[in-house]
């Protein structure tokens, strides 16, 4: 089945949840006593239990108030320097474009048909819930109403079995058995998912009284309806300080002023078990390992430097990239490192292995960039199991997240001041005064992650992170500081809880004069997100830069970003002046045996932007909507010029540009109506013009021929 772009980009992190649900659907159909539960809307009244109150006091914590970084001096460096390598690659990029239709060498299109056979009761399940489509959607990370139905059925059955007194061991065995029988995943993946995630899911569901509708709306998001849930509605509190009057237009950074050169690395997904020549076309969530089996043919073998299929990053590729960066960009002032270090073997991870990967990559970064400050943010893959980040009130030793946060404090301490230790150990967030008047705040975006089952217990500002964020921003405003915000999951992404994202959006709007840029990862694509005044959608007030992944997972080239930030001078804005995206062509690297990293594009030159202020990005968004040629360039850059990128139709274009405009998650209808109507109108005009032009040309041709034979006109 051909995969479109939206099928590949949505909900990549939610697979393990739906494997549990899909298996439970069939488990219920096999047990006749559970069937009536599927078709009733009755459930027990909700008795909300408030978790133990948190005594943590924000204002009592130490703050970073002394500039933490002394940058090296780079003689004669200003932002008026021309980009010296753009022209160098024009011919190369033109050649790549011409070769796009050449035969694939590193990936393989399997024949249609799954070849699965099911027992009679499973056939019944497939007819009722179309689980084959659910399995396909899980594998391709697109969750529709079909997956929503399966989620509701599975959640209801799991709650039913919990209430009926089945033990955790019985439930997990049942999940693994039916996951295997359905061929949803391989037996070892089914067993691993059941063991790794089952106990946590059961623990949480034993302590909540939400029904399947609320549960699946919470987990899947707008793909499963917008179900009102009063126990997951809350508001942050702002201090009684008036918002400073906003400028009519932000100034453009001075052309000849000093700047900071900033490296942004995200989503490394280093796989220590990657093996060149292993099977890259396996039937599991992660391939290219010895355990993936032998490749069926040469096309199915994993490449030396990585693979476009479901494979993460080999060590040699990470080493080569860091060596290239250290050699090419010798004048980096600081590094933003926005998380997701472990690979995608989510069924087979342990706390110890994830900690080893964190330690190894921190050591690697320290050795490659000695003396360069690094500001990290926590990804959703650092925990084991993935997406599992219990808030501080979950403090039992066996399920607490302290094992991770305590180690992060130790590892991050080599770059961060002592004063941030308290917040890192509490919730893996921190605030650092980098230079006089310039602060970086790193947020733990896993507290907005709707795949974090612990938030079902209580999603109200987990770890008091957003209230602390407000405190830091208000202090920065009082001190005339500008702030850059970094994190992993973009706040407008569908993986971010709607209520958390809504509160975050209000914070951005209130402190728009203080926050001058945001930086995230997670999606693996090269993109951006817009923020607007909630009361005036014509006023863009912030921009979130979403950096490309190092991992090629999947169908992508590895990449990284370089930002140029307005530096230390009297009239500095601390805005991003420009940014470059650098990539490695994975196909060529495997073909010729050696990778070449090159600059794919520079934002202002590629998109003809006057500057990179929020209003400039808003103008670009309008241009992308109206100008198909410009959108195609953006689409190429979004996929990091991957030769494996799919085609993008009107629906794909609407979804992509709506993502750009929606800095607030699960609220597409509020932001995207104008974008979607313009694209629909453009598509309609294009189709109508094609039809009428063809009709007119045909009529003209017929009428221009005076003496047509009678038999041609049907008279003969």
Q: Which residue has the higher pLDDT, 450 or 18?
A: 450
Question: 666 among the known binding-site residues?
Answer: no
Which of 101-110, 121-130, 283-292 has the least mean pLDDT?
A: 101-110
**Are the C-beta atoms of 377 and 427 separated by less than 8 Å?**
no
Look at residue 103 and tell me whether its pLDDT is greater than 60.
no
The per-residue pLDDT for 224 is 82
Q: How confident is the model at residue 78 (pLDDT cuts 50, 70, 90)?
A: low
Q: Which residue has the higher pLDDT, 316 or 688?
A: 316
Q: How confident is the model at residue 27 (pLDDT cuts 50, 70, 90)?
A: low
Q: How confident is the model at residue 260 (pLDDT cuts 50, 70, 90)?
A: very high
Look at residue 638 and tell me whether its pLDDT is greater than 80.
yes
> What percentage of the chain reaches a pLDDT higher than 70?
78
Q: pLDDT tens for residues 350-395?
A: 999 999 999 999 999 999 999 999 999 999 999 999 999 999 988 8
The per-residue pLDDT for 512 is 97
Domains of the chain: 120-224 (no CATH), 259-274+312-677 (3.60.21.10)
Look at residue 271 and tell me whether its pLDDT is greater than 80.
yes
The per-residue pLDDT for 184 is 78
Question: 380 among the known binding-site residues?
Answer: yes
The per-residue pLDDT for 364 is 95
Question: 160 among the known binding-site residues?
Answer: no
Look at residue 577 and tell me whether its pLDDT is greater than 50.
yes
Question: Helix, strand, or coil here: 145?
Answer: helix
Which residue in 439, 305, 415 sits closest to 365, CA to CA?
415
Question: 381 among the known binding-site residues?
Answer: no
What sections of 294-350 are H helices per DSSP?
Answer: 315-328
**Are the C-beta atoms of 289 and 343 separated by less than 8 Å?**
no
Look at residue 441 and tell me whether its pLDDT is greater than 70.
yes
Question: 524 among the known binding-site residues?
Answer: yes
**pTM for the structure as a whole:** 0.83
CB neighbour list of residue 154: distance below 8 Å, 6 or more residues apart: 20, 21, 22, 23, 24, 25, 28
* Side-chain-side CA neighbours of residue 32 (13 Å): 0
Q: Which residue has the higher pLDDT, 334 or 494?
A: 334
The Cα–Cα gap between 548 and 155 comes to: 35
The Cα–Cα gap between 241 and 505 comes to: 18
> Can you give the C-alpha Rg of the chain in angstroms?
27
518 — phi, psi (to 5°)? Answer: -130, 150
Look at residue 439 and tell me whether its pLDDT is greater than 90.
yes
**Cross-sheet strand order for the sheet of 527-533:** 430-435, 438-442, 482-486, 515-520, 536-546, 527-533
Beta bridge pairs of residue 261: 564
Look at residue 115 and tell me whether its pLDDT is greater than 70.
no
Length of the chain: 716
Q: Mean pLDDT throughout 188-210?
A: 90
**Cross-sheet strand order for the sheet of 559-566:** 374-376, 334-337, 259-265, 559-566, 576-584, 597-602
Question: 522 among the known binding-site residues?
Answer: yes
Considering the chain, what is the average pLDDT of its residues?
83
Q: Which residue has the tokens 């970073």?
A: 64
Tokens of 361: 């990559």
The per-residue pLDDT for 15 is 53
């Amino acid at each position: 089945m051909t995969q479109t772009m939206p099928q590949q980009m949505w909900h990549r992190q939610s697979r393990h949840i739906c494997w549990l649900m899909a298996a439970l659907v069939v488990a219920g159909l096999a047990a006749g006593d559970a069937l009536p539960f599927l078709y009733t809307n009755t459930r027990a009244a909700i008795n909300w239990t408030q978790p133990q109150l948190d005594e943590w006091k924000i204002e009592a914590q130490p703050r970073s108030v002394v500039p933490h970084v002394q940058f090296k001096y780079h003689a004669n460096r200003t932002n008026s320097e021309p980009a010296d390598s753009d022209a160098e690659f024009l011919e190369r990029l033109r050649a790549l474009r011409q070769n796009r239709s050449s035969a694939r060498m590193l990936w393989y299109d399997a024949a249609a048909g799954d070849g699965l056979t099911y027992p009679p009761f499973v056939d019944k399940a497939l007819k009722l819930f179309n689980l084959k489509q659910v399995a396909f959607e899980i594998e391709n990370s697109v969750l529709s109403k079909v997956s929503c139905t399966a989620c509701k059925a599975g959640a209801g059955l799991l709650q039913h079995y919990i209430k009926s007194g089945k033990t955790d061991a019985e439930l997990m065995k049942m999940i693994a058995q039916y996951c295997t029988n359905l061929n949803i995943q391989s037996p070892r993946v089914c067993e691993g998912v059941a063991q790794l995630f089952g106990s946590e899911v059961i623990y949480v569901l034993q302590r909540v009284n939400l029904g399947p509708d609320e549960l699946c709306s919470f987990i899947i998001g707008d793909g499963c309806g917008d179900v009102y849930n009063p126990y997951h509605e809350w508001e942050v509190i702002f201090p009684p300080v008036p918002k400073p009057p906003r400028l009519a237009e932000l100034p453009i950074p001075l052309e000849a002023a000093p700047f900071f050169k900033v490296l942004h690395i995200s989503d490394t997904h280093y796989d220590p078990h990657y093996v060149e020549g292993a099977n890259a076309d396996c039937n599991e969530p992660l391939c290219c390992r010895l355990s993936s089996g032998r490749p069926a043919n040469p096309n199915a073998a994993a490449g030396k430097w990585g693979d476009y299929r479901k494979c993460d990053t080999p060590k040699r590729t990470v080493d080569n990239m860091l060596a290239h960066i250290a050699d090419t960009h010798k004048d980096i002032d600081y590094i933003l490192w926005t998380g997701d270090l472990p690979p995608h073997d989510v069924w087979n991870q342990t706390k110890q292995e994830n900690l080893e990967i964190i330690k190894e990559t921190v050591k690697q970064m320290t050795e490659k960039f000695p003396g360069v400050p690094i500001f990290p943010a926590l990804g959703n893959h650092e925990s084991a199991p993935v997406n599992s980040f219990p808030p501080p009130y979950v403090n039992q030793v066996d399920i607490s997240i302290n094992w991770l946060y305590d180690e992060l404090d130790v590892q991050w301490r080599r770059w961060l001041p002592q004063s941030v230790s308290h917040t890192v150990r509490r919730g893996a967030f921190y605030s650092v005064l980098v230079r006089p008047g310039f602060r970086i705040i790193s947020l733990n975006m896993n507290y907005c992650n709707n795949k974090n089952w612990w938030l079902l217990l209580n999603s109200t500002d987990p770890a008091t992170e957003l209230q602390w964020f407000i405190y830091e921003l208000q202090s920065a405003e009082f001190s005339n500081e500008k702030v850059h915000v970094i994190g992993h999951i973009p706040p407008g992404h569908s993986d971010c809880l709607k209520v958390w994202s809504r509160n975050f959006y209000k914070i951005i709007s209130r402190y728009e004069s203080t926050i001058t840029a945001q930086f995230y990862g997670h999606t693996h694509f090269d993109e951006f997100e817009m923020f607007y005044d909630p009361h005036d959608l014509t006023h863009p007030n912030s921009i979130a830069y979403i950096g490309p992944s190092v991992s090629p997972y999947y169908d992508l080239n590895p990449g990284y970003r370089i930002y140029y930030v307005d530096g230390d001078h009297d009239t500095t804005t601390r805005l991003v002046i420009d940014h470059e995206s650098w990539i490695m062509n994975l196909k060529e690297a495997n073909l010729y045996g050696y990778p070449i990293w090159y600059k794919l594009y520079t934002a202002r030159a590629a998109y003809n932007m006057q500057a990179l202020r929020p209003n400039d990005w808003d103008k670009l968004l309008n241009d992308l909507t109206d100008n198909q040629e410009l959108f195609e360039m953006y689409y190429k850059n979004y996929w990091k010029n991957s030769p494996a990128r799919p085609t993008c139709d009107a629906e794909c274009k609407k979804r992509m540009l709506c993502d750009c405009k929606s800095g607030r998650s699960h609220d597409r209808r509020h932001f995207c109506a104008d974008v979607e109507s313009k694209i629909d109108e453009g598509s309609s005009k294009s189709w109508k013009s094609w039809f009428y032009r063809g009709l007119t040309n045909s009529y003209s041709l017929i009428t221009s021929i005076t003496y047509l034979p009678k038999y041609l006109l049907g008279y003969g």
